[in-house]
Amino acid sequence: MRKANVKDVPEQERKSPKGKFGRFTKNISVALGREPESLDVSKRHPFDLALVRVPKGKAVCPYHAHAAESEFYLVLSGRGSVRDKDGITEVGPGDAFFFQPGEAHQLSNGGDEDFVYYVIADNPRSGGATGDSCYYPDSGKWAVTTDAHGEVVVKGSETDYFDGEE
């Protein structure tokens, strides 16, 4: 059995250059031995589990739709806004929701405290034929997983991840 305690998993920060997007993530699957770069299915795990903390006033990432990945969310604390094709839905502790491939979504924190949730993804980005790609409807970009570069973001030509979002 592999075991990890969430309090011991390092928190990684990702934020955009102008500060509109920001989050702190504890990648629990990696702490349990997942090897993101491996093409060996037994080393990649069949799903990814992460604990995400979104600071006040930040969005997790731009509005996007995965080509191959499904995501299940479970809110632990704080209040969030979830944007999808039907508009914006407020979520809070105990709320669970799910997005299938092709369903555009975006999570934001408009509350006064951190917005914290678990996300389970069934098709982790790992490169090769099993990788995922994302479409960003607001900016017309694609993020494509590749073996050589990890991820290439294109908008007619290669561009920066946050181009057209802030």
Q: How confident is the model at residue 147 (pLDDT cuts 50, 70, 90)?
A: low
- pLDDT for res 123: 61
Q: Collapsing DSSP states into helix, strand and coil, what is residue 43?
A: helix
Whether 39 shows a pLDDT value over 50: the answer reads: yes
- Give the pLDDT score at 92: 97
Reported as half-sphere exposure (CB side, CA atoms, 13 A), residue 119 has a value of 22
**Single pTM value for the model:** 0.85
Task: Using pLDDT thresholds of 50, 70 and 90, give the confidence band for residue 38.
Answer: confident
pLDDT given at position 128: 44
Band (pLDDT 50/70/90 cuts) for residue 127 is very low
Residue extents of the structural domains in the chain:
8-125
pLDDT digits (tens, 9 = 90+) for 87-126: 999 999 999 999 999 999 999 998 999 999 999 998 655 4
C-alpha separations of 4 from 9, 40, 57 in Å = 7, 22, 30
What is the rounded CA–CA span in Å between residue 22 and residue 79? 16
CA terminus-to-terminus distance, the chain: 44
Give the pLDDT band of residue 3 (cuts 50, 70, 90). Answer: very high
CATH 3.30.70.1380 assigned to domain 8-125? The reply is no
Mean pLDDT of the chain: 88
55-85 in b/e form (b: 16+ CB < 10 A) is beebbbbbbbbbbebbbebebbebbbbbbee
